[in-house]
Amino acid sequence: MHDGIHVEKAGLPSATICTDRFIPTAQGMARMWGAEDYPTIFTQHPIENLDRPALRERAEGLATEVAAILTGG
Amino acid sequence: MTTTFTDITTTSWDDALSAIEKGYELGWGDGLPIVPPTIGRVAEFIGYAGRAPDEVLGELPERRRVITVEKAAANAVMAGCIPEYFPVVLAATEAMLDPTFNLVGPSSSMGGSAVLCIVNGPIRDQIGLNSRNNLFGPGNRANGTIGRSVRLILMNACAAIPGLFDRSVIGHPGKYTYCIAEAEGETHWMPLHVDRGFNASDSTVTVFAGESPRQIRAVGRPEAILYTMADVASTLGTSMSTSGSVGDVSVGIRQGQIVVTFAGNSNLWRDWTKDRIREYLHANIHRSVADLKRALVLPGDVEAGDEAAMVSLIPEPEDILVVFAGGEESNMASVIPSWGPKVGSTAVTKAIQIP
């Protein structure tokens, strides 16, 4: 969240993905930096135990949302 | 001396019990009752240390927090310190805010570490820090309240709030308080702070992002104690052994620092220096490639040769912090694995400014 917010503030479009267990932490970090409206994608926790095919499938499922955020759609 | 505070929230209460309850309402703390941080008491601490209230001890830029002397003082009062302990709290705060320590990592991680403070030098005796019996246990005000001050500073000043920015999954009891001293006058070994470049006459505090201490019971001979200690420190399940590499990907696992404490009578160790102990432990704290593959830390199936191929869990011998401390029985020791890889957090030692 911290890095995504700062990349965005620097003028480079960013899209941040968090797992849903970290919603309060992500929102707290956004509030801390005055970026309450920073768009964040939440995906089901956990991802650490996913193998490569499952992780790829998860990423592909989020790709449209990521593209929309990056292009301001 | 009149203290002018620069960043202050005031509240009022009718009596001590109301003040304690008010502290809970304001979310100040670790769940235990606080000593009310009255303006007078906080000013007394700052005056004793002879530091400016707005002097910056360090910053946590990721959380937009600047930690000043007055913030540290308020938390030291709340933790139950007396003014004479406050210089230790100040040095510990400076140490954990040193960029080398990378506080944002161990204070937020799911790994659940605590900031262990190890005090060396003359101040240990001056303020009565315990370095012997019941080393990590209760019963000593200086150990208990200095360690608690660090936790309150983390929570109240650094925003390490459980569930918000402190995401520990398990945590450990050292997160309430975690402060020891080395019994340096009772051993021929070089004290930890001298090992780390200070003079024996300096007073210092070393901060270390540590898991909980694992107590070791061994047959009371040096070789047996060290063999047992190396076995305990080599277990799967520590952050060092069972997490994927961060930084040096050629290793495959996280290699981290470690604190080891030795209790008892120093005479038992007359043939051993700290250097020799570090060399032994560094060579023997390791795990086989086969086991690391079974634990899915390293990829691939177990192959011929994997049982004998060992991966070191400690980067260098000097990454083993050796401390002589604990009760009278030489067959007891402890191991404290680091929260994570050395690249993620490295122990920091700071001099304590005694007024």
Q: Which residue of B has its CA nearest to A3?
A: B62
Residues of A whose CB is below 8 A from B64: 32-33
- Token output for B167: 């995401």
> CA B222, CA B220: separation in Å to the nearest integer?
7
Residues of A whose CB is below 8 A from B158: none
- Facing residue for A24 by CB, picked from B64, B159, B163: B163
Amino acid (1-letter code) at residue B41: R
Residues of A whose CB is below 8 A from B165: 25, 28-29
Minimal Cα–Cα distance from B165 to chain A, Å?
6
A22: contact with B, CB 8 A cutoff:
yes
> Residues in chain B with pLDDT < 50?
1
Q: Tell me, what's the ipTM? A: 0.81
Catalogue the E-assigned strands of A1-73: 16-19, 40-43
Q: Which residue of A has its CA nearest to B299?
A: A51
> CA A43, CA A46: separation in Å to the nearest integer?
9
Tell me which residue of B216, B335, B247, B243 sits closest to B285, measured CA to CA.
Answer: B335
Residue B31 has a CB neighbour count (10 Å cut-off) of 8
Q: Taking a C-beta distance cutoff of 8 angstroms, is the pair B120, B182 a contact?
A: yes
- Token output for B40: 């007078």
Contact A25 B63 (CB under 8 A): no
- Token output for B65: 């927090």
Residues of B with CB under 8 A from a CB of A: 62-64, 159, 163-165, 167
Which pLDDT does position B2 carry in this prediction? 61
Contact A25 B164 (CB under 8 A): yes
A24: contact with B, CB 8 A cutoff:
yes
Minimal Cα–Cα distance from A22 to chain B, Å?
8
Q: At what angle do helices A2-9 and A23-32 cross, to 10 degrees?
A: 40
pTM: 0.94
Residues of A whose CB is below 8 A from B62: 2
Which pLDDT does position B37 carry in this prediction? 94
Which pLDDT does position B128 carry in this prediction? 98
Which pLDDT does position B252 carry in this prediction? 82
Q: CB under 8 Å, gap of 24 or more: what pairs does B64-69 form?
A: B64/A32, B64/A33, B65/B157, B65/B158, B65/B159, B67/B93, B67/B97, B67/B153, B67/B157, B67/B158, B68/B6, B68/B7
Residues of A whose CB is below 8 A from B159: 32
Residues of B whose CB is below 8 A from A24: 163-164
> CA A19, CA A27: separation in Å to the nearest integer?
12
> CA B72, CA B61: separation in Å to the nearest integer?
17
